[in-house]
Chains A and B, each alone.
Chain A
Amino acid sequence: MTNLPELDVAREWLATMTLIRRFEERAGEMYARAKVGGFLHLSIGEEATIVGSARALRDEDYLISTYRSHGHALARGTPPENVMAELFGRVDGCSGGRGGSMHMFDIARRFMGGYGIVGGNLPIAAGIALASDLKGTEEITLCQFGDGASNQGTFGETLNLAALWKLPVVFMVTNNQFGMGTSLRRHSAVTDLQRKGESLGVPGMRCDGMDILDTHGVVSEAVRRVREDRRPLLIEAITYRFRGHSMADPEQYRTKEEVAQWRTRDPIPAFGELLKAEGVIDDDEEARIDGEAVARVDAAVAFAEASPFPAPESLYDDVYVLDDAVRGSYSVRTMRPEEAADQDARAQASGSDGFGEDDAGEIPQQITTALQAGEDGS
């Protein structure tokens, strides 16, 4: 094997993939224990796609993702403590507890967000790239989305506009074979997704998203070309999510055999075995990497548990950027001080702090469904 990276680089890739795997497993457990609300979309199985592509970027490049983006935040360097705290809805969450699982964000690391609307991030990626170009920088934007998003209007609109305007965007479709529970063959007339940009002026490339070396190699080449040519490219990463679409997915649209078949290609043990075969690490080192990931996730859970919920009086913070020149009422809450005081008094009188104390002991319906279907708890 000649295309292995430097020893410490290879180790870091394995460690980051392992961290994402352990983080996601624990997030699923925390969801089953009702520590995490709403939807939870895990990226287990897709770690090589995430880390292989993220490591093709420079620090000043932008990464933008979807509602399945815990792994992208972690790969970009967002501390797992802040990602877990976001899942827990706490003030130390990377979006201050405002976004949740689907809306991670870390401006300092140029992770420009998870987006809950399928295809919603593509135009935004083009806008980021436009700003990079007009500012005269070398920055590029890696825009990650799923196979389902390739059917949205924004896919065609954005690829056309990015090619027309020669914007430095690497569009990367993470083809995990399903748009929620609808298989690729049932949702896309063209299943060769790398070709879907051709008529829009965006050439395609493909990588094996289960193989971090191949993913990194292809994405690095794409990033180099986009940085130099200032024209967009589309990469299709072939991968598979081992878990359900979300935690409320009984997975009736695929067979256990199919999942088992893909699990034999699990990217983390595969890369671990390769590194051992090449003498980069040994069994002890592999176990140490795993132990470090587990310990880090333990710390993340403890941190999230200890972080406070946002204060009720912060509810209206950051709806607007306000400055000294503010006149008039921007929202109903800021209407008149005496009105606001009256609302607080009523909230206190009713005994509600706004966090659904009454429901604390109940398991949300979607969890119940998932548990009944045997999806979780494994």
Chain B
Amino acid sequence: MAEMRYREALNAALREELTRDERVVLMGEDIGVFGGAFKVTDGLLEEFGEARVRDTPISENTIVGVGVGAAMTGLRPVVELMTINFSLLAFDQIVNHAAHIHYMFGGQARVPLVVRMPQGAGHQLGPTHSHCFEAFYLHVPGLLVAVPSTAADAKGMLKTAIRDENPVIFIEHESLYGVRGEVPDDADHLVGFGQARTVREGTDVTIVGISRMALTAERAANTLAEEHGVQAEVIDPRTLRPLDLETILASVAKTNRCVVVEEGWPHGGVGANLAALISEQAFDDLDAPVKRVTGADVPMPYSKPLEDIAYPHEPQIVHAALAILGLEARAQPR
């Protein structure tokens, strides 16, 4: 094990896979000479050369499309988009092409493509650089959607993504790039998709945290235990497609209550989807309706006090957990 930052773990995953498989090619805006807008690809151009670490023009839809074509004919491209908001320029290539090609051509072609990008608020980047769009991509059959929250998962899941035969939307979080964690050194350490991580065990309420919210939920669970005597079980699904629903349902069978926490918008969100799945498949286990804690239903504002209240923090999660347990009187939202 070695302690490293989330961005360093991603860098290590890319370096190891570039070394392991000569079909792996990186493409993206400013990933080479500049070293990556968030320094995830730092040093890789020098190590692997211009042919395999490719600076691209600012042409998101075409960069992803080039990745699709290259993946169809034998490469394993990893495309970096600078933020998830920019991926909307590439929505056509991601949805109409990457996601559909295997199906619409009767299984003749595969698209082993990874599209990496960060999301998330907290840096005052305003309404075009701060959103969380995992729900957009979760919506699309044909895509896999990964949302790693720790350095170890960032590395192990990116390696899995590169080795997978399907197009993977790999969603990083801007606020996690500098967060340190223990990461296995083993070059073949993979974190398989469809395997949720139980962050913390508990018996009173299940809290499912998506992306960074897995960490925020963990802190909330500690507060719940220390200040309210409530034992929350915290689950990080790690991937939304495939989804390890079994682990979530098993937890709900134990706790009978579930709170889903995400940074994205409420309508059609990950929490909305999970709430539907849980009530369809585990209605009899529930003692209360599934509760959601989501980002505010607004474009992300720039001003710090407004940005702060536009996405979930620990107190909202504590409050939601107490509320679902009927302990609202003890809840003190800030």
Contacts and interface: CB of A to CB of B under 8 A. Distances in A.
A55 B281 CA distance: 57
Contacts of A112: 69, 72-73, 109
Contacts of B72: 112, 124, 127-128
Interface stretch (B54-62, B129-137, B300-308): B54-62
A320 interface: yes
Contacts, number: 176
A153 to B, nearest CB: 7
Contacts of B74: 131, 135
Interface in B297-328: none
B104 interface: yes
A103 B102 CA distance: 12
Contacts of A127: 65-73, 75, 77
B51 interface: yes
Given A112-B72, A125-B69, A134-B75, A325 B192 contact: yes
Q: How large is the interface on A (under 10, 10 to 19, 20 to 34, 35 or more residues)?
A: 35 or more
A336 B250 CA distance: 14
Interface stretch (B116-124, B237-245, B257-265): B237-245
Given A122-B65, A127-B68, A157-B57, A320 B142 contact: yes
Given A124-B65, A124-B97, A127-B69, A319 B141 contact: yes
Q: How large is the interface on B (under 10, 10 to 19, 20 to 34, 35 or more residues)?
A: 35 or more
Contacts of B110: 321
B182 interface: no
A154 B242 CA distance: 31
B105 A98 contact: yes
B62 A134 contact: no
B7 to A, nearest CB: 27
Contact of B192 (A128, A165, A327, A330): A327
Given A98-B106, A335-B245, A336-B281, 12 more contacts: A95-B104, A113-B109, A124-B66, A128-B69, A129-B69, A131-B73, A161-B59, A161-B63, A319-B142, A328-B194, A328-B239, A330-B242
Interface of B: 25, 51-52, 54, 56-57, 59, 61-75, 77, 92-93, 96-97, 101-110, 141-142, 144, 165-166, 192-195, 239, 241-246, 277, 281
A-B pairs, 3 with minimum CB distance? A123-B65, A127-B69, A328-B194
